[in-house]
Homo-oligomer: A and B are copies of this chain.
Amino acid sequence: MPPRQVEEHAATGRERDPERTRNEILETATHEFAAHGYAGARVDDIAARMRTTKRMIYYYFGSKEQLFIAVLERAYTAIRRAEREVDVDGFDPASAVRRLAELTFDHHESHPEFIRLVSIENIHRAEHMAKSPAIAELGSPAIDLLARILERGRAEGVFRRDIDAVDLHMMISAFCVFRVANRHTFGTLFDRDLTDPALREHYRTMLGDMIVDYIRMPAEQDA
């Protein structure tokens, strides 16, 4: 009678679904690390936020660092999966790039914690990521897609010839990441909330324009 068992576990607090426990720890740890940084995160707090003990965290992940690496792996796996689902077939090259940029914008908008984790990892010079073979193997669907669109645009003669997919991805990411990652200091210094919902469409369009203006073949502008 499995249902009974489940109830018993709930009663005793014993967890018998390792995969679920692992995921719950990762979920909670993601919030904690994103909220306070790597050094500022407390293993104690992660445990306190769920019905597990600190001991369990070490049982599953071995150390604070390995836990953080697992958090990064989970976050990157999720974003890469999202990237793989992007579909821009049927759009002309310029529209396709704009759409890809907008989807990137939206993804950053809706995953501020991921961006915080990335900032944190950069503070630590990507040393944790370097220890994860899993992340290295994820590849970069966004770049592959971008490369294909750029190729098409060049073939059609509407894009400049010399644009590299990785560079363009950087340009898009820079805008999207900065808006979210640096909004606090930017907001304080220039009194502008970059993530104000009322401004979202404004910045979304700005990004699209910026990218499209940059890649488009300059039509006799000096004529």
A residues with CB within 8 A of B: 36-40, 116, 118-126, 129-130, 135-136, 138, 140, 143, 166-167, 169-171, 173-175, 177-179, 181-190, 192, 194, 203, 206, 209-210, 213-214, 216, 218-219, 221, 223
Contacts and interface: CB of A to CB of B under 8 A. Distances in A.
**A38, A116, A210 pick with most chain B CB within 10 angstroms:** A210
A31 to B, nearest CB: 14
A143 B190 contact: yes
Contacts of A179: 170, 174
Given A40-B39, A170-B179, A120 B122 contact: no
Given A120-B123, A182-B122, A188 B130 contact: yes
Contacts of A194: 170
A108 to B, nearest CB: 12
Nearest to A123: B37
16 contacts: A40-B40, A118-B185, A119-B119, A121-B184, A122-B185, A129-B189, A135-B188, A140-B189, A143-B190, A167-B206, A171-B210, A173-B182, A174-B177, A174-B179, A177-B178, A181-B181
Counted per complex, copies of this chain come to 4
Contacts of A171: 175, 206, 210
Contacts of A223: 219
A129 to B, nearest CB: 5
Contacts of A136: 188
A187 B121 CA distance: 12
Contacts of A120: 37, 123
Contacts of A177: 174, 178, 182
A182 B171 CA distance: 12
Contacts of A184: 121-122, 125-126
A166 B181 contact: no
A178 B174 contact: yes
Contacts of A170: 178-179, 186, 194
B130 A123 contact: no
